[in-house]
Structure 1
Amino acid sequence: MPFAAITYDIKPGYESELAEIFGNFRRVKSDQVRTETGEEAGRILATAVFIRDDTLVRVIEYQGDLEAVARHMAAQPGVREVERSLKPYLSRPRDTDTVEGFVATFQRSLLRTVAQISVRDLPAAS
């Protein structure tokens, strides 16, 4: 399963406030990612958020099309609420008020994958 990581440029010194924002995150109703026409496009398997100094990173484990995952996330009430709550703590504003703005910001803040290793990728032991 692939992973994606996106960064947020934040003001340092607000780790507790940011942890609270993500700690109150409202999970999505379903892990299923669908296109605008309702076709299955993937799944969000897991997410994690990390912070240090002026950088916050969200890691997403997913299946399927990453742009469809970003579009799905943009439409989720919990994600929209987090993005609104983060605004005062950002050192660089993010245009995430629309689906198009969210997807463009997502793509711009996406870290390049250098390596991914999982025990799921190993051959089964005989």
Structure 2
Amino acid sequence: MAFAAITYDVKPGYEDELSEIFRGFRRVRSADVPDGTGEQAGRILATAVFIRDDTLVRVIEYEGDLDAIARHMAEQPGVQEVERKLAPYLTKPRDTGTPEGFVATFQRSLLKTVTQLSIRDKPNG
């Protein structure tokens, strides 16, 4: 299992409004993420959103292909709705209106993974 984190540059002072947008998030019907042929390419295991001042971060725990995860998210009505509602609060516009634009924005917003540790990991040695 892996984690990915993407950032949003938001206007400070709107933490409550931004929190409300995510409180109303519509989850996807299935955690399974198909590839272009309909085969399973991954699974979204969990998500979390954090905010402080002018930075909002979405963390995704997933299995499989992260590009497939991003493409899958781009097509989800709940994700599209959140992206539309976030637009007025962004300091930098995000081109997320198309799957291609969403995936490109996702990749640009992705934080570099420094380390990932889990109790599920077996210790070395």
- What is the TM-score with the length of structure 2 in the denominator? 0.97
Aligned to 1:103, the other structure's residue is in SS state helix
Number of aligned pairs? 123
Structure 1 residue ranges without an equivalent (≥5): none
Shift of 1:54: 0.2
Structure 2 CA distance, aligned partners of 1:73 and 1:13? 27
Residue 99 in 1 paired to residue 96 in 2? no
2:122 alignment counterpart = 122
Identity of paired residues, percent? 76
Structure 1 CA distance, aligned partners of 2:31 and 2:80? 17
Query: Runs of at least 4 residues of structure 1 off by over 2 A?
Result: none
Q: Give the counterpart letter for 1:89 in structure 2.
A: Y
Residue 65 in 1 paired to residue 65 in 2? yes
RMSD across aligned positions (CA): 0.6
Shift of 1:122: 2.5
Structure 2 CA distance, aligned partners of 1:13 and 1:107? 26
- What is the TM-score with the length of structure 1 in the denominator? 0.96
Structure 2 residue ranges without an equivalent (≥5): none
Q: Give the counterpart letter for 2:59 in structure 1.
A: V
Aligned to 2:120, the other structure's residue is in SS state helix
Q: Give the counterpart letter for 2:25 in structure 1.
A: F
Shift of 1:55: 0.2
1:74 alignment counterpart = 74
